[in-house]
Amino acid sequence: MLIEGRGVITEGTKYRPWRYTLTLQDDGALEGLLVMQGWEDSQEMKMWYELNKGKKVKLSLQDGSILEVAPMGLKVHESGHYSQAEIVVRGTIEKT
């Protein structure tokens, strides 16, 4: 099942306007991307990744779903006028 949208809550209360594209497998495994565009927002996402890489963290989505994921990788696309950060995550959905 594909889960897509915008709006992730981290640290229980911190709203982040990140886009997400996640795939939920039949066995309950979840994997996908968190994506942010823009220089300042991408920098904030990169800092969040560095603080949380390899750890399991809880995220809440706009639809109320609660995820437990581990940030597994970071992709950054930058040019003179554009920046985008993508975080690869793997984990599970605790509540939908």
Domain count for the chain, please give it: 1
| Cα(38)–Cα(2) distance, integer angstroms | 25
Residues constituting the chain: 96
54 near 46, Cβ under 8 Å?
A: no
pLDDT at res. 96: 66
pLDDT in tens, the chain (96 residues): 999 999 999 988 889 999 999 999 999 899 999 999 888 888 899 999 999 999 999 999 988 899 999 999 999 988 878 899 999 999 999 876
pLDDT at res. 39: 81
The range of the structural domain enclosing residue 43 comes to: 2-95
Instruction: Compute CA distances 47 → 29, 85, 87, 91, whole Å.
Output: 26, 11, 11, 20
Beta strands in 1-96 (DSSP E): 2-10, 14-24, 29-37, 57-61, 66-78, 83-95
pLDDT at res. 28: 87
pLDDT at res. 46: 94
For the entire predicted model, the pTM comes to 0.89
